[in-house]
Every structure is written in structure tokens, then in C-alpha cells.
């Protein structure tokens, strides 16, 4: 039987999602916990990789098991074994071919910024005290919906067949002393959201004009874009799947 497991985690203590040599990752912890509970070797596959220090409000993983445990029992036992910074939220039975990575219709990331020092947001949001022009940032962000090739925001050394992404949402919101960037697409390149945020913040500070921003997109050159925003503000927030893969 194949299941989709919905989890959340704080990425602060982890070297990203994917298993690495000599570094603790979220995938490794989830694998070990599930294997202990189900008494068989479990290898989960996530909907996508998050980098070191990046958080997930929603990450979805799939795994196969022959266990007789009920889905709710798996979630309950898993939460008793996982560390405090990783939680199992729910589980759903899916078709045997369902895949959390390839069946995802869209993914949404949030990037959180606070503009005044706040000890309760340290590690969970990027402190950026400078004044920014939010209207100009949204004008630039709107260009992302009209673009296709995002090589300028991708890590230089990355193994992909192409740099094309279909962005359907890219908007900045402001509340009190906090900024939130919401972006949704069918796929994202490695480092893409943090590079976009860093560049859009430069637009907001009037370091980069709208024309400059479009030129960066046209360049397909990561060196033309701005520095990446820190990992602590980035959250994988939502993933959408087609209804037909669920069997429960």
C-alpha cells in the first residue's frame, strides 16, 4: 500500500530535506522513525527538496508499506517518535503509482520578513529593517507571471533539463511590521525563491528599476540577479495534487 504523509518541520537544525553523507537531514529522520514504527525499511520520497535552514509548513512524502497499522495509528506513533521540530499531520492512502514529486500540480512558497527587531521571530523570519516600496516590488513580481525561463534565479550548478516554470502567483503583502511574499508555480528551481526575494528587495529599495528587473530575467544569468535572501524566512507552504490519486 502506498501512502502520502503530510508533515511540517523547522529546518533550522537540518542540512535540508534530502539525505546527505555526514549531515543530518529531515528525510533521514523521517525514514528512521517510520522504519522503527512499521518494522520494515522505509524510504520516503518528498515532493521536493528544501535547502539547509528552510522550513516547511507542508511537505508531502510518499512511502510503501505492508503494515497492518491503521493510518491514524501511524501518525500517532510517528509523532511520539519524531523530534519536536518535525510533526506528522495527516496521512492518505493513494494509488500504487502516485508520486509526491511528479504528481504535484502546484507548489507554494512563503517568504517571511520582519522589519523591526523581534526575538520571537528570530530564526523563523528574515529581519530586514530597511524601507521598501511595496507597490514597486509587486509591479516587478507581476512580471514573473508573464515569464517562463528562470535561469537567472537558479543555482549555477544544478542538474535540470530546462529552467522553465509556470508561475501563477507572485505577490507581496504587508501587515504591521511584517512582509510576506507568496509565490506559486508548477515547479521551482534550486535556490529560485530566495534569489527572487533578494532581487525584489533590491527593487523595493530602488537599487534596481523595473526595466533592470526585466533585463535580469532576459539575461538568464544568475550573476545579474541579487544575492539570495537568507534561508530562515523561507517556507514550503502548500502542495496541490489531483483528486484521482487518492483512494481513501
In the chain, what are the domain boundaries?
2-102, 106-237
Other beta carbons within 10 angstroms of residue 190's beta carbon come to 18
DSSP H/E element including 140: helix 134-144
- CATH topology assigned to domain 2-102: Alpha-Beta Plaits (3.30.70)
| 106-237 classified as CATH 3.40.50.300 | no
The predicted pLDDT at position 73 comes to 94
Q: Which residues of 200-211 are buried (b: 16+ CB within 10 A; e: fewer)?
A: bbbbbeeebeee
**Per the residue annotation, which of 51, 72, 85, 133 is the catalytic one?**
51
The predicted pLDDT at position 158 comes to 73
Quick one: 140 exposed, middle or buried, by C-beta within 10 A (0-12, 13-18, 19+)? Answer: buried
**Annotated catalytic residue 51:** yes
Q: Report the candidate in 195, 205, 225, 241 with the shortest Cα–Cα distance to residue 51.
A: 195
Domains 2-102 and 106-237 share a fold: yes
- Residue 212 is classified by DSSP as H
pTM: 0.95
Tens digit of pLDDT per residue, the chain (248 long)? 999 999 999 999 999 999 998 899 999 999 999 999 999 999 999 999 899 999 999 999 999 998 888 999 999 999 999 999 999 999 999 999 999 999 999 999 999 999 999 999 999 999 999 999 999 999 999 999 999 999 999 987 777 889 999 999 999 999 989 999 999 999 999 999 999 999 999 999 999 999 999 999 999 999 999 999 999 999 999 999 999 999 98
Amino acid at each position: 500500500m502506498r501512502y502520502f504523509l503530510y508533515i511540517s518541520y523547522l529546518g533550522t537544525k537540518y542540512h535540508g530535506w534530502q539525505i546527505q553523507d555526514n549531515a543530518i537531514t529531515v528525510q533521514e529522520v523521517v525514514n528512521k522513525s517510520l522504519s522503527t514504527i512499521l518494522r520494515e525499511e522505509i524510504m520516503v520520497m518528498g515532493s521536493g527538496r528544501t535547502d539547509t535552514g528552510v522550513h516547511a509548513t507542508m511537505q508531502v512524502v510518499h512511502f510503501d508499506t505492508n503494515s497492518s497499522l491503521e493510518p491514524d495509528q501511524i501518525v500517532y506513533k510517528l509523532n511520539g517518535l519524531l523530534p519536536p521540530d518535525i510533526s506528522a499531520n495527516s496521512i492518505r492512502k493513494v494509488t500504487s503509482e502516485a508520486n509526491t514529486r511528479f504528481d504535484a500540480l502546484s507548489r507554494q512558497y512563503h517568504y517571511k520578513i520582519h522589519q523591526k527587531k523581534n526575538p520571537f521571530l528570530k530564526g523563523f523570519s528574515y529581519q530586514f529593517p530597511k524601507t521598501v516600496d511595496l507597490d514597486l516590488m509587486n509591479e516587478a513580481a507581476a512580471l514573473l507571471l508573464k515569464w517562463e525561463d528562470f535561469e537567472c534565479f537558479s543555482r549555477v550548478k544544478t542538474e535540470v533539463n530546462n529552467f522553465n516554470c509556470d508561475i501563477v502567483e507572485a505577490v507581496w503583502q504587508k501587515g504591521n511590521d511584517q512582509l510576506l511574499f507568496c509565490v506559486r508555480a508548477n515547479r521551482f528551481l534550486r535556490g529560485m525563491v530566495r534569489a527572487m526575494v533578494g532581487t525584489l528587495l533590491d527593487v523595493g529599495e530602488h537599487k534596481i528599476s523595473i526595466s533592470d528587473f526585466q533585463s535580469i530575467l532576459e539575461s538568464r544569468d544568475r550573476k545579474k540577479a541579487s544575492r539570495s535572501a537568507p534561508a530562515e524566512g523561507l517556507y514550503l507552504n502548500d502542495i496541490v495534487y489531483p483528486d484521482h490519486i487518492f483512494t481513501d
